Amino acid sequence: MKNRLKVLRAERDWSQADLALRLEVSRQTVNAVETGKYEPSLSLAFRMARLFGQRIEDIFQPESDSNSST
């Protein structure tokens, strides 16, 4: 699953540790989500969306959606 987490975090000048603290998860979890090695739970995805003021769909996109026509 592709995501914009790293970009959104960088726009706020937050480290992975800063974001992890705000989300109440480990820095390793943030890294794993950013690199696509871990898909967050729905609960965590909602927390991320609220934190960034975005919809979940604006942060996360399934790989297959990148090939579909709009």
| Mean model confidence pLDDT for the chain | 92
Cβ atoms of 44 and 60 closer than 8 Å: no
pTM over 0.95: no
Fold of the domain spanning 2-58: 434 Repressor (Amino-terminal Domain) (1.10.260)
Residue 34 to residue 47: CA distance in whole angstroms = 15
Going by their DSSP bridges, the two strands 60-61 and 2-3 should be labelled as antiparallel
User: Any bridge partners for residue 3, and if so which?
Assistant: 60
The reported pLDDT for the residue numbered 67 is 52
